[in-house]
Chains A and B, each alone.
Chain A
């Protein structure tokens, strides 16, 4: 049994006076996929943000023993930024030496590579955000609704990314609404 890459213990969150969830624990080891489930507003995104260290939980603690990638429904693209610029910027910011053109091609973004994000479709923006996962190998992937806005082909692409990542010893924690399309080691329902 390997050490868990990501552990959340006794996590609880309150927004205003509303208790979103309490006493949620989860862990993800190498090769694990953990799927977060719950109705709209149940706190899936908040839980992911807590796991990423963006939101401070009301109770409980998170430990990550490896670096993580974060992709949420807010892609982090600037309106004037092209997919190529976006990936180059983050490759530089992370000190990663990645083949940006290759990644763009792999993600099916060769054609819109130089189109500013404000002219991209929602699916293309999502692909750009997901392409950041390939800039730098990081063991933990935190994905918030990764399939939203993707077409069937894009969905297949992301599924294969997730499978490859887990096979190579990473772990994925994803909030997914509806069909996941891959076998999850663990499901957490909020």
Chain B
């Protein structure tokens, strides 16, 4: 199935309409969700009053931080096994975007944390710590790719690191949870999830889906640029070699 997508031409013609569709769908969902979240839904005093509205930004970024690292690992695996070039292009495109989303997740979490916890950074929060380490994994991945002297080597080194990171993520998460459970002072933010009332749920889902679509659109745009860059480089090399 994947080898069908692995053809760069097919990817270019597919993303030619899919990327704009992702942007459009993402924007609509985001605008509706944010409008609902920021102006329409009632504030929840138990969750810190108006500041809880940052949730409509924060929770989707947290989901995307996890999802983007998973996608990076899956793409790396596909590239490592089958050497489909599009998988490497995807991995390369996902990393910086994933890092940005992870950073936004940390920043919004911090902003939410200040009034509720009374501190910008809570070492006892397992989720924040896990996301922080994911941020480092992204940075390491990008730095390693950048340090390699050819794109083939960058792809191989990156794939190895992403896979090693991916099998470590569950362990990191588990250890961080254990660490924080020892230190935990009663957390102000109660677990969200299915218990949450529908007033919040629908705008939140809308924001999450919207951000995911935007993310997918941006990844595709990045990939298109990368594919064209590689073609240009190939053509230039052919020209310099005299045909």
User: Interface on A for B, CB 8 Å cutoff?
Assistant: 14-19
Chain A residue nearest in CB terms to B230: A17
Stretch at the interface among B87-95, B210-218, B234-242: B234-242
| B150 close to chain A: CB less than 8 A | yes
Q: Which residues of A contact B184 (CB under 8 A)?
A: none
In this assembly, does B189 line the interface, its C-beta being within 8 Å of a C-beta of chain A? Answer: no
B240: nearest residue on chain A (CB-CB)? A18
**B: interface residue count bin:** 10 to 19
Q: Number of residue pairs across A and B with beta carbons under 8 Å?
A: 20
Residues of B10-40 contacting chain A, CB below 8 A: none
B151-A16 in contact (CB<8A): yes
Residues 213-232 of B contacting A (Cβ, < 8 Å): 230
- Whole-angstrom distance from the CB of B151 to the nearest CB of chain A? 6
Question: What residues make up the interface of B, taking CB atoms closer than 8 Å to A?
Answer: 149-152, 230, 233-234, 236-238, 241
Per DSSP, chain B at the interface is: helix
In the complex the two chains form, is A16's CB within 8 Å of B150's CB? Answer: yes
Give the residues in chain B near A19, CB-CB below 8 Å. Answer: 237-238, 241
Please measure, in the bound complex, the distance between the C-alpha atom of A16 and the C-alpha atom of B149, giving whole angstroms: 8
The distance in angstroms between the C-alpha atoms of A18 and B236, with both chains bound, is: 9
Least CB distance from B169 to A in Å reads 29
Give the Cβ gap from A114 to chain B, nearest Cβ, in Å.
38
CB of B37 to closest CB in A, whole Å: 47
Most chain A beta-carbon neighbours within 10 Å: one of B152, B230, B236: B152
Main secondary structure of the interface of A (DSSP, over half): strand
Cα(A19)–Cα(B235), bound, Å: 11
Chain A residue nearest to B241 (CB atoms) is: A19
Least CB separation from A19: chain B residue: B241
Nearest-CB distance from A50 to chain B (Å)? Answer: 14
Cα A18 to Cα B234 in complex, Å, equals: 8
- Residues of chain B lying within 8 A (CB to CB) of residue A14: 152
* CA gap between A14 and B233 in the complex, in Å: 13
- Given contact pairs A17-B151, A18-B241, enumerate 10 new A-B contacts (beta carbons under 8 Å): A14-B152, A15-B152, A16-B152, A16-B233, A16-B237, A17-B230, A17-B234, A18-B237, A19-B238, A19-B241
| B234 to chain A: closest residue by CB | A17
Residue from A14, A16, A17, A18 with most neighbouring chain B CB atoms (10 Å) = A17
Rounded to whole angstroms, the CA-CA distance of A17 and B151 in the bound complex is 8
Shortest CB distance A152–B (Å) = 38
Alpha-carbon distance A15/B150, docked complex (angstroms): 7
Complex-state Cα separation, A16 to B241, whole angstroms: 13
In the complex, A15 Cα to B233 Cα: how many Å?
A: 12
Min CB–CB distance A73 → chain B (angstroms) = 19
What residues on B are CB-neighbors of A17 within 8 Å?
Answer: 151, 230, 233-234, 236-237
Cβ contacts under 8 Å, B233 to chain A: 16-17
The distance in angstroms between the C-alpha atoms of A17 and B152, with both chains bound, is: 9
B230 to chain A, nearest CB (A): 8
Q: Across the interface, which residues of B come within 8 angstroms of A15, CB to CB?
A: 150, 152
Assembled-state Cα–Cα distance A15/B236 (Å): 14
Residue from the set A14, A16, A19 with the largest chain B CB neighbour count within 10 Å? A16
Residue of B nearest to A15 (CB): B150
A98 to B241, CA, bound (A): 48
In the complex, A178 Cα to B39 Cα: how many Å? 80
A18 CA / B240 CA spacing, docked (Å) = 9
C-alpha gap A84/B149 in the complex (Å): 36
CB nearest neighbor in A for B151: A16
Q: Bound state CA distance, A17 and B238, in angstroms?
A: 8
Residues of A within 8 A of B234 (CB): 17
Q: How far is the CA of A77 from the CA of B234 in the complex (A)?
A: 38
Give 4 nearest A-B pairs by CB, closest first. A17-B237, A16-B150, A17-B233, A17-B234
Chain A proximity of B14: nearest CB distance (Å): 25
State the CA gap A14–B230 with chains docked (Å).
Answer: 13
A46 CB to nearest chain B CB (Å)? 12
Q: In angstroms, how far is the closest chain B Cβ from the Cβ of A190?
A: 13
Q: How far is the CB of B154 from chain A (nearest CB, A)?
A: 10
